[in-house]
Amino acid sequence: MKLFPRKISSFLVCPLALLAIITANAQDPLPSWKDGAAKSSITSFVKKITKDGSTDFVPISERIAVFDNDGCLWSENPLPFQVIFAADEIKRLLPENPEWKENASVQALLKGDTAALLGDHHKGLLEIIALTHAGITTDEFDTRVKNWLTTAKHPKFGRAYSKCIYQPMLEVLSYLRANDFQTWIVSGGGQDFMRVFAEEAYGIPPEQVIGSHGVAKFELKDGKPTLTKTLDTVFIDDKEGKPVGINQFIGRRPIAAFGNSDGDKAMLEYTTIANPKPSFGLIVHHTDGEREYAYDAKPKSSGKLVKALEDAPKNGWTVVDMKEDWINVFPSAK
């Protein structure tokens, strides 16, 4: 008679194996990253700047990391999600606004004529944004974004847009915060739009979300404080606007920057070139047409990555090959 039948001996052995796996994972803050140069560049940097007494040590208050959003923390295809939101809003609100049917931009949108919307410096798209992102209170806008996020699904991934976020980047965010970094979003996307979901999706509170924005209008309406969204003095938080936005909101130079397109080049330069503190730059290169999209050399809408990729070697920026470097792309929960 066996002292331990097979099932019981498995039971005895397995917990040890399980423990080994758990321990390995506990030691690995980035389990969705394949071992390799990209992954180790992140962990080496963090170890270096957190080592007390080392010349590379950076005090906690200076541990500022900045992240682009579209294409860096979540997908930006088939179109940036905020554009899809605007299009869905136009369709939803059309019955209440029949006059919109005469509007050439709305007509282009309803026909799916992206070229017409993006022509003439995105004039049509900006008109769609104006119709859906201004003239309403900030509270009403928040509600609309929340409703959209709970109902709309991504056409390729079949999941809510706020779940089309990159698991490996969520791990980087958590890892940095565990090492006392502040993690900020610095994105060309709409500030008010991102603030609705950034805390739940990324653990980033509204006050650490910088994006494109207009100046709101404050007034007491029937004695009640009201903020109305406008497109007055719009600030575009893209390209050279990113370091400007960082200076305006944070007032300190970051030591780590994460992007994915030429729109992030100035932010990467500001963070890493001639920074008296140790610094780190990383570019997510979209190479995975199967699990996500491979588009960044010639994107249909946003996310062009040519110049920043060229400059990466000389500036020491890590380039992440999404297909090769990431074990998972999205979180398991849809």
In the block, tokens 């199967």 appear at 290
Site map 169..188 versus a second copy, x via CB under 8 A:
-------------x------
Check binding of 109 to a second copy (CB under 8 A): no
Q: How far is the CB of 229 from a second copy (least distance, A)?
A: 10
DSSP-assigned letters across all residues of 105-164? HHHHHHHT-HHHHHHHHHHHHHHHHHHHHSSSBHHHHHHHHHHHHHH-B-TTT-SBGGG-
Among candidates 264, 296, 217, 224, which has minimal Cα distance to 66? 264
Q: Which stretch binds a second copy (CB under 8 A): 96-104, 126-134, 245-253, 291-299?
A: 245-253
* Cis bond before residue 15 (omega within 30° of 0): no
**Which residue, 233 or 332, has its beta carbon nearer to a second copy?**
233
Q: How far is the CB of 201 from a second copy (least distance, A)?
A: 15
**Which residue, 16 or 220, has its beta carbon nearer to a second copy?**
220
Beta bridge partners of 185: 67, 209
Q: Which stretch binds a second copy (CB under 8 A): 49-57, 76-84, 225-233, 324-332?
A: 225-233
| Residues sharing a CB contact under 8 Å with residue 224, sequence separation 6 or more, in sequence order | none
Q: How far is the CB of 24 from a second copy (least distance, A)?
A: 33
Check binding of 225 to a second copy (CB under 8 A): yes
**Which residue, 213 or 286, has its beta carbon nearer to a second copy?**
213
Tell which positions 78-107 bind a second copy, by CB under 8 A.
Answer: none
CA 179 to chain CA centroid, Å, is 20
Check binding of 227 to a second copy (CB under 8 A): yes
Beta bridge partners of 319: 283
Are 254 and 66 spatial neighbours (Cβ–Cβ below 8 Å)?
yes
List residues binding a second copy (CB under 8 A): 61, 138, 182, 191-192, 195, 199, 205-207, 209, 213, 215-220, 223-225, 227, 233, 235, 240-241, 243-244, 247-252, 266, 269-270, 273-274
